[in-house]
Structure 1
Amino acid sequence: MTRIKHFAAALALAVLAIAGTQAALITPAAAAGSCWGSDCNHYDPNTLGCGSDAYTLEKITENLVTIELRYSPSCYAAWTRFEVHSDFAFPTTVFLRGSSTTEYRNLPIYEGAKGWTAMVSFQQAVKSCMQWYNGGYYEICTPTH
């Protein structure tokens, strides 16, 4: 009877050790964001933790403004991040255009202004764009991902 108890105890410890190792491997990625795919649509990437593992897919500077197409693997979502480089930039709107959802953000026009749009699921084809007016409307976008 003692051998069976020792064997059962050893087996239980082995199972817990394996489960703990798997949980340790899964937890960091899951903790990076609290939404995934279309559940992230229309939400702020930093509020939901998606900014923690995000990286820039594309970057453009035009009209004294830089836009970046940002992507979070843990949230499977994208957004547009911007930075204004001068007080003399023309009034600009940045947006993230998805194949079925678009998120807009009007920029504050002062040097050093930074921000981002809400997210769109990466299940859609997405690109970051900006549009401004200078005697006519102009628009430029990153390549689509």
Structure 2
Amino acid sequence: MKHLATVLLGTGALLAGGLVTAPSASAATSCLGSSCNGVNPANTTCANDARTVAEGSGPVTAMELRYSPSCRAAWGRFRISAPSGSKIVIKNSQGKQYTTNGSGHFYSVMVNDKDVKAWACGTWKVQGSYDTDCTSSY
């Protein structure tokens, strides 16, 4: 019993002193490839290493295609402040497609981008008509 108390007290001192730490939440990927389909990137570690790999090509460059190398997943993001009722469609060459509605600088759920191509399209309403901007594939 005395040995157990000594071990527990020693471990507590190491934790308090910062010498032993719990594994970081960002140390592990929370999804990979197809297991990321339909998942919100904010609920994963995928945003930690995400980068913009494609931009829209419309008259208003509104869309970005974001990609996470560690998760092998992609999602769309509005670069402009989209009005209420706007949507992002993210899809891949395997036929997976998800639509996310929102406003402001919002983003879509993710789609698998492991060994396939993905792209995003945003649609928003301006003065009674709809504008659309799509990224190239990545």
Q: TM-score, normalised by structure 2?
A: 0.66
Distance 2:133 2:106 in 1: 18
Q: Which has the higher helix share?
A: 1
Tell me how far apart the structure 2 counterparts of residues 144 and 65 of structure 1 sit (CA, whole Å). Answer: 15
- Aligned to 1:122, which of 113, 118, 125? 113
Q: Please point out which of 40, 51, 63 is paired with 1:55.
A: 51
Tell me which residue corresponds to 1:94.
88
Which consecutive residues of structure 2, in runs of 5 or more, have no partner in the other structure? 1-22
Runs (4+) off by over 4 Å: 61-65, 133-138
Q: Say which SS state the counterpart of residue 107 (structure 1) adopts.
A: strand
Answering whether residue 133 of structure 2 is matched by residue 143 of structure 1, we say no
| Number of residue pairs matched by the alignment | 112
Q: Which amino acid is the alignment partner of residue 98 of structure 1?
A: N
> Contact conserved, 1:45 with 1:119, CA < 8 A, in 2?
yes
Greater mean alpha carbon deviation, residues 76-85 or residues 60-69: 60-69
Question: How much identity, in percent, do the aligned residues show?
Answer: 32
- Match of 1:84, SS state, is coil
- Of structures 1 and 2, the one with the larger relative CO (CA 8 A, separation 6+) is 2
Shift in Å, 1:74: 0.3
Indicate the structure (1 or 2) with the bigger Cα radius of gyration. Answer: 1
Q: 1:82 to 1:32 in 2, by over 3 A?
A: farther
- Alignment partners' CA distance in 2, 1:35 and 1:90: 30
- Give the superposed CA RMSD: 3.0
- 1:85: which partner in 2? 81
